[in-house]
Amino acid sequence: MTATVQGTPAAGAVQGLWRRQLSHYPDTRPRVTYLAIVVLATIVLYYQFYVSGAVSPSIIAHYGMTFNYYVYIIVVANAVGAFGSLAAGLADRWGRANLVAYGLVITGVLILFGVPNAPNQLTFAILFCAVGVVEGVILVATPALVRDFSPQLGRASAMGFWTLGPVVGSLVVAVVSSNTLSHLAPWQDQFIICGIVGLVVAAIAVVGLRELSPQLRDQLMVSMHDRALIEAKARGLKVDELLRRPWRQMLHLDIVGSAFAISVFLIIYYTAVGFFTVYFTSLYGYSLSTANSLGNWFWAFDAGALILVGIISDRVRVRKPFMVLGAVGAIVMTIVFLNLGTGTGYSTFAIVISILAVFLAIAYAPWMAGFTETVEKRNPALTATGLAVWGWIIRAVIAISILILPSVVSSMTPLVTYGSSVATLSAKYAPELATLSKIHPSTQAALQANPTNPATIGAAVKQIAHGFGIGQAAATVRLTALAAVPRSDLVFLDEHGTQVVTAAAAAPGEWKNWWWVCVGGQVVFLPLILLMSGRWSPRRAREDAEEHERLVQQELAALDG
């Protein structure tokens, strides 16, 4: 049985760029091709949405924005993205493929031409939020496509590949930035590279992506053996009846509670996406490329574990035990991570965050499969609506948590805004600043008021000589060197030096508090697993599959009769 495009004439290539519905369930090869395009599109989309995190300190410095302003941009982008996800619930009526294909065209243009040329911080914020809206739409449309092309018995594997989108997107950000920032210094170059890649993948999606007709996708498919049955049923399926009152059908505790559970569980994930670079550069003094190279470890292990655990979950046919194991492991490793001190080496960080990433993946891939199965239990025709509920909740939780972040980690504004400049000037003028520290504050004020007054100069020389235990001639040389330091640099250090030192002392404890917030979200996730559908026992799950297969054969026999 081959795949055909419903309503697309053989010569109508242009119509095929909009009319994408398949009237038959596709064979394995085209089905895998469509799934691959969906995964590739998801990877590129998240690469575009996360690329700012790799160069956030440079963006903040370029526009002269405060750390809080940058955080609020991310908050608003996630907030408007939440409503984009909600609107994407219409994909149950309008389809999914066009939302993905042409959404990628929009984000590619914004990333390549818009963001790098933003003249001020407000324009940058508006363009970034526009990307967030489209990301919210595609966040719902892509897993809906994966669900459509994936029977339940292969769902965790398929969702494992789909969740490669955000993870590999983050990995691509880390790999590209860590290998290019050393010789492509302007932050805009990262967006240009990302935009070019985005438009290439958008072209692939526009030409090659297809979706099932509503009659096919609106049914429950447990295994590939159901294919003949769902095609037979599709001929008599009344889609409009299945789509009545969609929100009323989806707004139930099992769906809403499960979506909230994964949202708070992933607070640490989204903190890593947005702020790992800031965290490691400001607290541990790593360069941008080194901080991003730590991300290579985190995202690579996450990606590998997503695929592996998805395959294993499908083999044993259960989801919930994996969620529990992943959550418990993530709690333990987050506690280990938050207790790492300032003397921790690069390799220790790499090992700890890699193990943490593995446990996050162990929970997340089976959760995605289990959530779509929970939605299907309510109504398989409203998969996109159920995913829209999830998309809205997760974006709202992210926005609220990031909004709270600056109040918990209040030290980041002076560290990110002034820390690098203070460190550079302090190193550059270390001998001169040591000389300044030996001069009495009243003498410093007198020198500022009248730097040529002989009496004041004499007093300063005596204080320097006494402070260092040197002769007046050597003290005079030191004072002369101090006088050569630009006045603006000394004023900057005077205004922000103490502020940065105080913030640096407070930052580790404040970040530790935030990591405890992340642990709290992981703990909340555990009891809410009980709301989801699905078996705990592999034996019972296998019996369910065998019973379903018997019923399918029975229905097919009845249809043949």
Q: For residue range 45-67, what is the model confidence (pLDDT) as tens digits?
A: 888 888 887 788 788 888 888 87
User: What is the predicted pLDDT for the residue at 3?
Assistant: 37
pLDDT interval class at 172 (50, 70, 90): confident
Do both 497 and 412 map to the same domain? Answer: no
Tell whether 48 is covered by a domain.
yes
How far is CA 398 from its chain centroid? Answer: 10
Per-residue pLDDT, averaged over 125-154, amounts to 77
103-117 exposure pattern, b = at least 16 Cβ within 10 A, e = fewer? bbbbbbebbbebbbe
Within 8 A by CB and 6+ apart from 195, the residues are: 48, 108, 109, 110, 111, 112, 113, 116
Residue 22 CA to residue 238 CA, distance in Å, equals 17
Per-residue pLDDT, averaged over 82-94, amounts to 65
Tell whether 42 is covered by a domain.
yes
Residue 432: count of CB within 10 angstroms of its CB: 18
Number of domains in the chain: 2
Residue 94 CA to residue 100 CA, distance in Å, equals 12
Backbone angles phi, psi at 21, to 5 degrees: -80, 135
Asked if pLDDT for residue 264 goes beyond 90, the answer is yes
Do both 325 and 285 map to the same domain? Answer: yes
Query: Angle at Cα 374 formed by Cα 135 and Cα 269, nearest 5°?
Result: 40
Cross-strand pairs, 5:
22
Tell whether 213 is covered by a domain.
yes
Do both 275 and 332 map to the same domain? Answer: yes
pLDDT tens readout for residues 398-447:
888 888 888 888 777 676 667 667 777 777 788 888 888 888 888 888 88
Do both 99 and 39 map to the same domain? Answer: yes
Residue 47 CA to residue 54 CA, distance in Å, equals 10
Do both 412 and 443 map to the same domain? Answer: no
Please name the helix (run of DSSP H) or strand (run of DSSP E) that holds residue 21, with its range, or none: strand 21-22
Looking at per-residue pLDDT, the higher value among 160 and 400 belongs to 400
pTM, full prediction: 0.70
And the tokens for 61?
Answer: 């410095």
User: What is the predicted pLDDT for the residue at 496?
Assistant: 75
User: What is the predicted pLDDT for the residue at 223?
Assistant: 40
Tell whether 514 is covered by a domain.
no
Per-residue pLDDT, averaged over 89-117, amounts to 81
Per-residue pLDDT, averaged over 165-176, amounts to 78
pLDDT tens readout for residues 2-32:
333 344 433 355 665 667 667 676 677 887 8
Would the CA dihedral through 63, 64, 65, 66 be positive or negative? positive
Per-residue pLDDT, averaged over 264-272, amounts to 90
Greatest mean pLDDT among 141-155, 338-352, 509-523: 509-523
Asked if pLDDT for residue 234 goes beyond 50, the answer is no
User: What is the predicted pLDDT for the residue at 160?
Assistant: 65
Asked if pLDDT for residue 232 goes beyond 50, the answer is no
Would the CA dihedral through 419, 295, 180, 74 be positive or negative? negative
pLDDT interval class at 547 (50, 70, 90): low
Secondary structure (3-state) at 236: coil
Looking at per-residue pLDDT, the higher value among 396 and 416 belongs to 396
Asked if pLDDT for residue 389 goes beyond 60, the answer is yes
Do both 448 and 311 map to the same domain? Answer: no
User: What is the predicted pLDDT for the residue at 293?
Assistant: 82
Q: Are 84 and 142 in contact (CB under 8 A)?
A: no
Angle between helices 383-408 and 121-148 (to 10 degrees): 140
Within 8 A by CB and 6+ apart from 258, the residues are: 367, 370, 371, 374, 390, 528, 531, 532
Do both 448 and 545 map to the same domain? Answer: no
User: What is the predicted pLDDT for the residue at 422?
Assistant: 76
How far is CA 526 from its chain centroid? Answer: 22
**Amino acid occupying residue 354:** S
CA distance to 131, 174, 187, 265, per residue, from 142 (Å): 16, 23, 29, 21
Residue 265 CA to residue 275 CA, distance in Å, equals 17
Tell whether 228 is covered by a domain.
no
Tell whether 5 is covered by a domain.
no
Q: Which of 181-185, 208-212, 396-400 has the lowest mean pLDDT?
A: 181-185
And the tokens for 146?
Answer: 């994966």
DSSP per-residue string spanning 290-355: HHHHHHHHHHHHHHHHHHHHHHHHHHHT--HHHHHHHHHHHHHHHHHHHT--TT--HHHHHHHHHH
| Count of all residues that appear for the chain in the document | 561
Residue 98 belongs to domain with CATH number: 1.20.1250.20
User: What is the predicted pLDDT for the residue at 560?
Assistant: 57
Do both 465 and 540 map to the same domain? Answer: no
Within 8 A by CB and 6+ apart from 68, the residues are: 406, 413
Do both 104 and 157 map to the same domain? Answer: yes
DSSP per-residue string spanning 176-229: HHHHHTTT--STHHHHHHHHHHHHHHHHHHHHH--EE-HHHHTS---SGGGHHH
* Nearest alpha carbon to residue 481 among 441, 531, 428, 529: 428
Please name the helix (run of DSSP H) or strand (run of DSSP E) that holds residue 22, with its range, or none: strand 21-22
Do both 397 and 426 map to the same domain? Answer: no
* Nearest alpha carbon to residue 110 among 95, 122, 128, 94: 128
Tell whether 152 is covered by a domain.
yes
Reduced 3-state DSSP string for 389-442: HHHHHHHHHHHHHHHHHHHHCCCHHHHHHHHHHHHHHHHHCHHHHHHHHCCCHH
Tell whether 508 is covered by a domain.
no
pLDDT tens readout for residues 220-231:
444 444 444 444
Domain that holds residue 303: 23-223+236-418+524-560
Looking at per-residue pLDDT, the higher value among 558 and 401 belongs to 401
Do both 427 and 289 map to the same domain? Answer: no
Do both 409 and 435 map to the same domain? Answer: no
User: What is the predicted pLDDT for the residue at 262?
Assistant: 94
Residue 83 CA to residue 81 CA, distance in Å, equals 5
Per-residue pLDDT, averaged over 511-529, amounts to 94
Distance, first Cα to last Cα, the chain: 21
Q: What is the mean pLDDT of the chain?
A: 79
